[in-house]
Structure 1
């Protein structure tokens, strides 16, 4: 798509990957943008399914069983951990670059990194060099995850100022659902390529790397940004005095870090995610130990799958609902309802009520997913849309921190309880009650969020200079 250079721009027509070249022409339908975002998020959502490779990767040399020189699960665990760390780092530190170059270049860079990370990892499998998997999927792929996560979201927010929650929910639901496609696909590919001399992982990495690169590139080519001052037909921006606290002003990415609102929302996300992510990682073991004589391993696997569905669905449903009730009120629901459910879960387990136990955790995990998809719209409401991609990227450090805190709290408290004679079926009681306390703290943090002081807002001249 061609684009006219801005007045005073002596460089001529902008390059294909420039921000100016992605400005939509009159008549462009904003409903073309969500599929472009999904083309990226469904790919990078594969990260949640990486564990399907762990078992086969322990048999690269032995093929049928682990050989003495094969990698251990603890060694392989660092691949995913590195990917999440670099997701957070790239999202946080590339925020300014994203706002400067636009979504097309950022999404294409994400495609190169994520797809390329698989190819580097394939070489690592063939040569049996673990550092190549750390570099490939962990570092390079992790950078692709971070860039791919934030760039479509900020664009959707600008296209859907009237339904920010729904728009971000669509994309981030794709991230949650990507694993549901990637897990069976990866297993099928490994089975296809498996032979007497290969476990099929390297070949699978190559196929996935190429497929994800193509899909994410298509998304980057299809993405468009709205013209300056564009708004949906017939829509009037809400006043800043409404209870939903939606501002018409903009706060610079660096200035946002000087506001209490950024750190309060950081804590809101951190506490909501901490309360869910630790349980998600131990769901299978937890339900089997809570109902030892009733729930089989197969039933526990079904429970994990059900939680994944609610995690994915909650990303769309709760974010869409936030358009009606407001972002702050949506988090109030998360914290109040979550704390109540966590408090009563041990009672449901003690009484043998599996239905209420499962239902409680399904609702909790829906709010865990909803926290991810609602927060970008929350940030846009508070800080405006001009730099929301970069601000969102920096806020994702809360996800990285929660990814450590949640599992540590769940695992170490349980281990402490069991070591001191508490029955395994009762070992989670203290943990889930602690999660309820964390959600009460989150409620207080959310309560303290007020509209951003006018002194932090950019002037029209400052905003024009940044553009």
Structure 2
């Protein structure tokens, strides 16, 4: 528990949603901030569970089976894709705004967008206008995803300068685990609202929109930022750590884009995510085709659930470990171990070693999740904390790019292989070998990351003005 003092000149009359109004008062415990962050990330993590609506949405008119005028799965697939695209775009373009207005206004805006996106989508289902689903969940909800993703993370980094990795891991673990709550909840609500004239999706969207708005709004109201120059009780900031590349200086968000470090870390995240996201999307089909007549659909579903657990747990475990071994070394492990495991996987499949196959992918997916939670601390180490939220937001465009590249590599190369006579059980081998190459390239990119040159650091005068 840590105590703080109010900064000079702080006034209790500051507007409620202003950045000044969120500065913590004496006696505030920094351990109150992670629950506020989780209140947001557990909600927006619902995005990973949106696929539970795809089947029912193909039967909005037919109810029991798809009618001629019902939506197709290919049309519905764009809803999630749009949400991820606008997550990346909003995080990138609103990052600077976040640093100006503070986390409370940003998180409340995220609550309005994410919850409101569900309500617009509910109207789209009621009117059977898919454009409203694209607008609602895809565009408006996607903006809520992006704002909700970055705003708590930058705040946690400032509260936990001594344990940056652990702090970001706690919040981003919530994003990975949100689907584990959302999936069964959504199915239960659809079953509750199902009737002879309704598939129950519109009503479920309304309930979820209201519930997520309330939870995220509570997180926004509870969030606090530390005063300037605050530090945990009894903690002394270390000198610039050359070995772990932890800087005590700060780089402006616009200046960060002029450094090679930003683009190298962009590639590091892009390549790590690309190597995992495509497999995550095809895990069920992949294990069934790799072990034909051995793995049932139910067992494959269990495999997917296990991967989700490792994806979630890896976000906390790897980010926390990075506090001890350093961010750069953590990514070295991701790329080196990931490349070895990917190289071995086809052999495990060919020899029927299901346990080793499952274990390899569980570790790979833990590092996929760990990549998301470790990168904010990596950025804070390199560029300081003054603008880390905005810099992190711009870096998340790597996620949006990987969200396209990963599935394309897995799906289209597999389709090409099958079309040219390759057995389905062997159709993933070329893709996996490409993943190995990508991870080796990622290893090299991470190797090239050095500390930021002094010429990019902000002066004390610039920091005081926030410019």
Count of aligned pairs between the two proteins: 467
Could you say what the CA RMSD is over the residues aligned between the two structures, in angstroms?
2.2
Query: Is residue 35–residue 219 contact of structure 1 (8 Å, CA) maintained in 2?
Result: yes
Query: How far has the Cα of 1:3 moved from its partner?
Result: 16
Query: How far has the Cα of 1:27 moved from its partner?
Result: 1.5
> In the alignment, which residue of structure 1 is the partner of 2:282?
282
Query: How far has the Cα of 1:12 moved from its partner?
Result: 8.5
Query: How far has the Cα of 1:142 moved from its partner?
Result: 0.4
Query: Is residue 265–residue 446 contact of structure 2 (8 Å, CA) maintained in 1?
Result: yes
* C-alpha separation in 2, matches of 1:379 and 1:453: 14
Query: Is residue 6–residue 24 contact of structure 2 (8 Å, CA) maintained in 1?
Result: no
Query: How far has the Cα of 1:238 moved from its partner?
Result: 2.1
Using a 3 Å threshold, how does the CA distance of structure 1 residues 460 and 143 change in structure 2: closer, same or farther?
Answer: same
Moved more, 312-321 or 422-431: 422-431
Note the alpha carbon deviations across 1:361-395, whole angstroms, 9 max, x for none: 00000000000000000000000000000000000
> In the alignment, which residue of structure 2 is the partner of 1:106?
106
SS in structure 1 at match of 2:197? coil
* C-alpha separation in 1, matches of 2:119 and 2:366: 34
Using a 3 Å threshold, how does the CA distance of structure 1 residues 255 and 36 change in structure 2: closer, same or farther?
Answer: same
Unmatched tracts of structure 2, length 5 or more: none
* C-alpha separation in 1, matches of 2:19 and 2:363: 40
SS in structure 1 at match of 2:376? helix
* C-alpha separation in 1, matches of 2:360 and 2:284: 15
* C-alpha separation in 2, matches of 1:90 and 1:123: 24
Unmatched tracts of structure 1, length 5 or more: none
> In the alignment, which residue of structure 1 is the partner of 2:403?
403
Query: Is residue 164–residue 323 contact of structure 1 (8 Å, CA) maintained in 2?
Result: yes
Query: How far has the Cα of 1:7 moved from its partner?
Result: 10
Query: Is residue 111–residue 216 contact of structure 2 (8 Å, CA) maintained in 1?
Result: yes
Query: Is residue 270–residue 402 contact of structure 2 (8 Å, CA) maintained in 1?
Result: yes
Using a 3 Å threshold, how does the CA distance of structure 1 residues 145 and 10 change in structure 2: closer, same or farther?
Answer: closer
Query: How far has the Cα of 1:11 moved from its partner?
Result: 9.9
* C-alpha separation in 2, matches of 1:397 and 1:389: 14
Note the alpha carbon deviations across 1:402-452, whole angstroms, 9 max, x for none: 000001011111111111111111111111111011000000000000000
Query: How far has the Cα of 1:35 moved from its partner?
Result: 0.1
> In the alignment, which residue of structure 1 is the partner of 2:131?
131
SS in structure 2 at match of 1:449? coil
SS in structure 2 at match of 1:183? helix
Runs of 4+ in 1 over 6 A off after TM superposition: 1-12
Using a 3 Å threshold, how does the CA distance of structure 1 residues 23 and 262 change in structure 2: closer, same or farther?
Answer: same
Query: Is residue 3–residue 14 contact of structure 1 (8 Å, CA) maintained in 2?
Result: no
Using a 3 Å threshold, how does the CA distance of structure 1 residues 118 and 448 change in structure 2: closer, same or farther?
Answer: same
Moved more, 439-448 or 288-297: 288-297
Note the alpha carbon deviations across 1:168-204, whole angstroms, 9 max, x for none: 0000000000000000000000000011111110100
Query: Is residue 4–residue 230 contact of structure 2 (8 Å, CA) maintained in 1?
Result: no
Query: Is residue 6–residue 227 contact of structure 2 (8 Å, CA) maintained in 1?
Result: no
> In the alignment, which residue of structure 1 is the partner of 2:63?
63
Query: Is residue 376–residue 388 contact of structure 1 (8 Å, CA) maintained in 2?
Result: yes
Query: Is residue 4–residue 13 contact of structure 1 (8 Å, CA) maintained in 2?
Result: no
SS in structure 2 at match of 1:282? helix
* C-alpha separation in 2, matches of 1:39 and 1:329: 31
SS in structure 2 at match of 1:2? coil
TM-score, normalised with respect to structure 2: 0.98
Query: How far has the Cα of 1:60 moved from its partner?
Result: 0.7
Query: How far has the Cα of 1:293 moved from its partner?
Result: 2.0
Query: Is residue 315–residue 371 contact of structure 1 (8 Å, CA) maintained in 2?
Result: yes
Moved more, 380-389 or 288-297: 288-297
Query: Is residue 154–residue 388 contact of structure 1 (8 Å, CA) maintained in 2?
Result: yes
> In the alignment, which residue of structure 2 is the partner of 1:81?
81
* C-alpha separation in 1, matches of 2:357 and 2:379: 33
Note the alpha carbon deviations across 1:51-83, whole angstroms, 9 max, x for none: 111111111111111111111111111111111
* C-alpha separation in 2, matches of 1:345 and 1:330: 22
* C-alpha separation in 1, matches of 2:165 and 2:10: 39
Using a 3 Å threshold, how does the CA distance of structure 1 residues 5 and 292 change in structure 2: closer, same or farther?
Answer: closer
Query: How far has the Cα of 1:14 moved from its partner?
Result: 1.2
Query: How far has the Cα of 1:13 moved from its partner?
Result: 2.4
Query: Is residue 2–residue 30 contact of structure 2 (8 Å, CA) maintained in 1?
Result: no
Query: How far has the Cα of 1:8 moved from its partner?
Result: 11
SS in structure 1 at match of 2:107? helix
* C-alpha separation in 2, matches of 1:32 and 1:326: 26
Query: Is residue 3–residue 21 contact of structure 1 (8 Å, CA) maintained in 2?
Result: no
Note the alpha carbon deviations across 1:260-309, whole angstroms, 9 max, x for none: 00000000000000000011111111111111021111111110110000
* C-alpha separation in 1, matches of 2:147 and 2:113: 9
TM-score, normalised with respect to structure 1: 0.98
Is 2:359 aligned against 1:366?
no
> In the alignment, which residue of structure 2 is the partner of 1:424?
424
* C-alpha separation in 1, matches of 2:444 and 2:434: 16
